[in-house]
Structure 1
Amino acid sequence: MKKEVLGKCPVCSSNLEVTKLKCKNCGISIEGDFQLCKFCMLSKEQKEFAEIFIKNRGNIKEIEKEMGISYPTVKNKLESLIEALGYKSQPKEENYKKEVLQQLYDGKISADEAIKLIND
């Protein structure tokens, strides 16, 4: 059973460094300071979400269905993933308005409810 490379220290949560690489085929070892990719630094939950997001080609409805979670939860997980990869998050107010408009578009709320949510 292969073990996944840890990106964060299980004791203090600091970033870990890779210092040795070894080829299983020829046995050569290379030592040095190697940087792990951004994806290695994600939590297991974030990696699983990224895989589901990609598999479903970003289709929120399919992600909701597969994960058994709501639209806002999918959006929150996506924002968390974006931030963990080092990209700037959209302002929370803008995200909230987009979520309300998406719920309106999906028929989950009425126009009156959307207006009330955005104006509150």
Structure 2
Amino acid sequence: MKDVLGNCPVCGQKLEVTRLHCCHCNTSIEGSFNLCKFCRLSKVQKQFIETFIKCRGNIKEVEKELGISYPTVRSKLDDIVQALGYSVKEPRVEDERKAILDMLNRGEIKYEDALKLLKEYQKEAKQ
């Protein structure tokens, strides 16, 4: 069985479900039904969310699993937050530094990793 498409493959606009069918009893229901917000995410975004949940939101584990940097993980999360219809405030440099230091404090990352992340973030923030 194929995944439900949330957006039109031709124009990219939201699709609407108009028919539901039960394969067990052969009942069909027609009408106008909304898809959940997650159905509208791209396949890549859904895979990222699955990895994020599997890693229990631990960004360091997501980095390892996907082989991407901390700023890239944050960027992907921001894209998904926007795709779900929420606003993303521009992170302040201090907020990002605090998040890295909090991960260090909780023991999620080592000192060397925190230092590397801080340098990476500072480099990407300048771009």
Q: CA deviation at 1:97?
A: 3.6
- Distance, in Å, in 2 between the alignment partners of 1:100 and 1:29 is 54
The answer to whether the Cα contact below 8 Å between 1:53 and 1:63 also exists between their aligned partners in 2 is: yes
- Distance, in Å, in 1 between the alignment partners of 2:6 and 2:94 is 34
Greater length-normalized contact order (CA 8 Å, ≥ 6 residues apart) = 2
Q: CA deviation at 1:100?
A: 4.2
SS at match of 2:116: coil
Segments of 4+ moved more than 4 angstroms: none
Q: Percent identity?
A: 53
Q: TM-score scaled by structure 2?
A: 0.78
Per the alignment, residue 98 of structure 1 pairs with 95
Per the alignment, residue 33 of structure 1 pairs with 32
Q: CA deviation at 1:99?
A: 3.2
Gaps of 5+ in 1: none
Gaps of 5+ in 2: 105-113
Per the alignment, residue 8 of structure 1 pairs with 7
The residue identity in structure 2 corresponding to 1:8 is N
Per the alignment, residue 63 of structure 1 pairs with 62
Q: CA deviation at 1:11?
A: 0.4
- Residue 107 of structure 1 is aligned with which of 115, 120, 124? 115
Q: Deviations over 1:35-59 (max 9, x none)?
A: 0000000011111111111110110
Q: CA deviation at 1:87?
A: 1.2
Per the alignment, residue 87 of structure 1 pairs with 86
* Count, aligned residues: 112
Going from structure 1 to structure 2, the CA distance change for 1:58 and 1:7 (only over 3 Å counts) comes to same
- Distance, in Å, in 1 between the alignment partners of 2:33 and 2:22 is 15
How much is the aligned-residue C-alpha RMSD, in angstroms?
Answer: 2.4
Q: TM-score scaled by structure 1?
A: 0.82
